Amino acid sequence: MTVTADALSSLHDVLDASAVVSDPDLMASYLHDEAEWAPYGTPLAVVRARSTAEVQALVHWAIEHDTPVVPRGAGTGLSGGANSLAGCVVVSLDRMNAVREIDPLERLAVVEPGVINDDLRKAVAEHGLWYPPDPASSPWSTIGGNVATNAGGMCCVKYGVTRDYIRALEVVTGTGEVVRLGRRTAKGVTGLDLMGLYVGSEGTLGIVTEVTVRLLPLPDPGHTVIGYFDDLAGAGQAVRDVAAQGLTPAALELVDRVSLQAVDDYAHLGIGGEANVVLIGRFDDAGEAGAAGAAAMQKAFSGAGATFTAEAADSEEADAMMAARRLAYPALERLGDVLTEDVCVPKAAVPQMLEQIAAIAARYDTTIANIAHAGDGNLHPLMITERGDEAAKARAQDAFTAIIDAALAAGGTVTGEHGVGLWKRAGMERELGPQVVAMQRAVKAALDPHGILNPGKAI
C-alpha cells in the first residue's frame, strides 16, 4: 500500500488534483470498454486530462515510475483495447472535447480527441460539410477512440474508414514528446507516413491529443431500400450479386431475425415484418444516378430470392430502416452477455461465411445474432448468453474461435474494424504470421522504447 500511496502522491505532484481520480467507486466506470468478458485490472489512478500538457506530464511521470498508461475515449470499444491493467494509469481524454476549428475552404476540422463523433458531424454539417466515418457507436464514441481503432461503420463500403479522413495528429509519444504528424495540405509525402501508422495503433504508440480531419461536402439524402429474405444464404447471395453488378452503395447492411426481434422489442420500429433476414441498402449519388442505383439494388435483391423489397418513401422511413441496424447492438445487449465478432471476408465468400456461422451456432449450442456491414464482407456475429451462465460463455468463446478459423480459411481477416485489443491477439498472430508480428513489435519498440503505452494490447 505504501508503494501505491507513494506513487499516487508523486502523480499528484505533477498533475492538478482535479485531474486525478483514485477513489475506487469513481474509477469503476473506467475499468474496461465494452469487451467486459476480456480481462482487466485495477488501475492506480485515472487521469482525466484537460490538455496536451497534462498528458505529457503524465507520460513523463509514467516513464519515471515505469508505469503503464492506458488511453481511453468513451470506452465503446469491443476488443478490450481500453481495458485497464493492474497498477496502470488510465488516461481518459473525454474532457478534451472542443472543436477547435472548421475550415470550409480547406474542408478540414481540428478537434480534441474527446469530441464525440456525432457532435463533430453536427458541427461540420452547419457548414454543409460531412465527416463520413460512422461507426454504430457514433452517438457515444469519440474521435480519439475512432482514430485509435481506425473505426469503420456503415458508409465504409463507399467512403472508406477513419484513416482515410485523418490529415494530421498531435501525439504525445512514448518518450513524452509532443509531435505533429501529417499535414494540413491536401497532399504530402514528406517522410514515412507515421500519421497513418498511429491511426489504428490502439494507444500502443502514443496518445493522440489533437486530430485534424478531412471533410467532404454533405451528400444527397439518398435512396434507401430494404429487402426481406427467408435465410442468410439468400441475403448473402444478394450481397454478392450487388458487388458483381458493379453497384457502389453508400451502405449495405444485414440484420437477422434475432437482431430484428431485439430491436423491435427495444425501439418498436416495425422494420422487418416476418423476414428472417433483412438487407438495408443506401445510394447517395446525386440526381438520377442514386435512384437508378436503388432500383438496381432492389432488382438484385429480388433476383436473389427476396420475398419483399421496397424503397423508403421519405427520410423518416429511411431513418427507421437504418436505425434497425444501428440499434441492433444496444438492443441485443439487453438479452444477455454479448461477445462480438468482427471478421471481414472477401465479398464472394459472404454467402458461405454466413452459412458457416449458422452451422457454428448449432455446433456450439450458442445463440448467434448476425448484423453485418455486408457490402464490405464485414460480419458481426454476436454470441449471446444468459447472464451468469459460465458454461454458455465457454461455448460462446469456442464459437468465437471457430468463426475466426472459418474467416481465415476464407481469405479473411480476424478484425475488420474493432481492433485487436485483447480479444484478437491470438487471431492476429495466426493472420499475420511470426515475421510480420516481429516487424510490428520492432516498430512498437522503436516508438515506445520504455514499453509504457498500453502494453499487452494489440501488438
Of 18-26, 261-269, 371-379, 383-391, the segment contacting a second copy by CB under 8 A is 371-379
Among 99, 267, 310, 443, binds a second copy (CB under 8 A): 443
- Does position 184 bind a second copy by CB under 8 A? yes
- Does position 135 bind a second copy by CB under 8 A? no
- Does position 427 bind a second copy by CB under 8 A? yes
- Does position 417 bind a second copy by CB under 8 A? yes
When the beta carbons of 210 and 335 are compared against a second copy, the nearer one is 210
Q: Give the list of residues 6+ apart from residue 389 with CB closer than 8 angstroms, or none.
A: none
- Does position 24 bind a second copy by CB under 8 A? no
Of 60-68, 89-97, 174-182, 324-332, the segment contacting a second copy by CB under 8 A is 174-182
Please choose, from the candidates 397, 393, 412, the residue with its C-alpha nearest in 3D space to the C-alpha of residue 360. Answer: 397
Q: Give the list of residues 6+ apart from residue 67 with CB closer than 8 angstroms, or none.
A: 7, 44, 61, 87, 88, 89, 452
- Does position 433 bind a second copy by CB under 8 A? yes
Restricting to residues 243-282, which ones interact with a second copy according to CB under 8 A? 243-244, 246, 248
- Does position 126 bind a second copy by CB under 8 A? no
CA distance 18 to 21: 8
- Does position 459 bind a second copy by CB under 8 A? yes
- Does position 295 bind a second copy by CB under 8 A? no
- Does position 90 bind a second copy by CB under 8 A? no
Reported as type and span, the H/E element at residue 234 is helix 232-244
- Does position 454 bind a second copy by CB under 8 A? no
Q: How many residues does the chain have?
A: 459
When the beta carbons of 179 and 394 are compared against a second copy, the nearer one is 179
Among 185, 265, 274, 362, binds a second copy (CB under 8 A): 185
- Does position 76 bind a second copy by CB under 8 A? no
Restricting to residues 191-230, which ones interact with a second copy according to CB under 8 A? 191-194, 196-197, 199-201, 204-205, 216-217
Please choose, from the candidates 111, 82, 86, the residue with its C-alpha nearest in 3D space to the C-alpha of residue 98. Answer: 111
- Does position 160 bind a second copy by CB under 8 A? yes
Rg of the chain taking only CA atoms, in angstroms = 22
Restricting to residues 331-370, which ones interact with a second copy according to CB under 8 A? 344-348
CA distance 189 to 182: 9
- Does position 437 bind a second copy by CB under 8 A? yes
- Does position 411 bind a second copy by CB under 8 A? yes
Please choose, from the candidates 360, 358, 371, the residue with its C-alpha nearest in 3D space to the C-alpha of residue 272. Answer: 371
Strands (E), 73-229: 89-92, 99-103, 108-111, 129-130, 166-173, 178-182, 206-214, 216-217, 223-229
Among 7, 8, 289, 323, binds a second copy (CB under 8 A): 289
Supply the minimum distance, in Å, between the C-beta of residue 328 and a second copy. 18
Reported as type and span, the H/E element at residue 437 is helix 425-447
Locus of grid cell 469491443: 78
Among 48, 252, 431, 453, binds a second copy (CB under 8 A): 431
When the beta carbons of 59 and 205 are compared against a second copy, the nearer one is 205
> Could you tell me how many residues of this chain bind a second copy (CB under 8 A)?
88
CA distance 256 to 459: 33
- Does position 188 bind a second copy by CB under 8 A? yes
Strand order in the sheet with 69-72: 20-21, 45-48, 89-92, 69-72
Phi, psi of 115 (to 5 degrees): -65, 130
Supply the minimum distance, in Å, between the C-beta of residue 248 and a second copy. 6
End-to-end CA distance of the chain, in Å? 31
What are the beta bridge partners of residue 225? 281, 311
Of 4-12, 137-145, 260-268, 285-293, the segment contacting a second copy by CB under 8 A is 285-293
- Does position 382 bind a second copy by CB under 8 A? no
Q: Which DSSP category does 387 fall into?
A: T
CA distance 62 to 89: 8
Please choose, from the candidates 304, 373, 366, the residue with its C-alpha nearest in 3D space to the C-alpha of residue 345. Answer: 373
Among 136, 324, 384, 447, binds a second copy (CB under 8 A): 447
